[in-house]
């Protein structure tokens, strides 16, 4: 157990720190921004697309299952990323102050 912790300590540090950062950053958010913030966070977890790209990139030419799964995953991941950021932007457009 202790061995596992010391082997993976970098990862563990990152996890713990990111949890604190995540909580800190959300700190005092006005309720009117809850939804755009949720949308922004939604777009950020689209980072899962990196995994899809890796799957696709490593698939051998004859491994159709991996190719198809990877292809689908890339499309879905991109939808999350692109759709997420565009939707968030549209929501925030509405917050321009009218002069």
**Shortest separation between residue 9's beta carbon and other proteins, angstroms:** 13
Residue by residue, what is the 3-state secondary structure of 56-79? HHHCCCCCHHHHHHHHHHHHHHHH
Minimum CB separation of residue 2 from other proteins in Å reads: 16
C-beta of 9 vs 79, nearer to other proteins: 79
Nearest approach in angstroms of CB 11 to other proteins is 7
Residues with Cβ within 8 Å of 88's Cβ and at least 6 positions away in sequence, in order, are 36, 39, 40, 42, 43
In terms of CB distance, is 9 or 75 closer to other proteins? 75
């Amino acid at each position: 157990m202790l061995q596992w912790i010391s082997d993976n300590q970098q990862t563990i540090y990152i996890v713990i720190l990111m949890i604190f950062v995540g909580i800190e950053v959300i700190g005092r958010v006005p309720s009117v921004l809850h939804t755009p913030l949720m949308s922004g966070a939604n777009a950020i977890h689209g980072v899962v697309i990196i995994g899809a790209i890796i799957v696709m990139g490593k698939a051998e030419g004859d491994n159709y299952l991996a190719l198809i799964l990877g292809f689908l995953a890339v499309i879905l991941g991109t939808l999350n990323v692109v759709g997420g950021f565009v939707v968030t932007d549209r929501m925030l457009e509405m917050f321009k102050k009218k002069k």
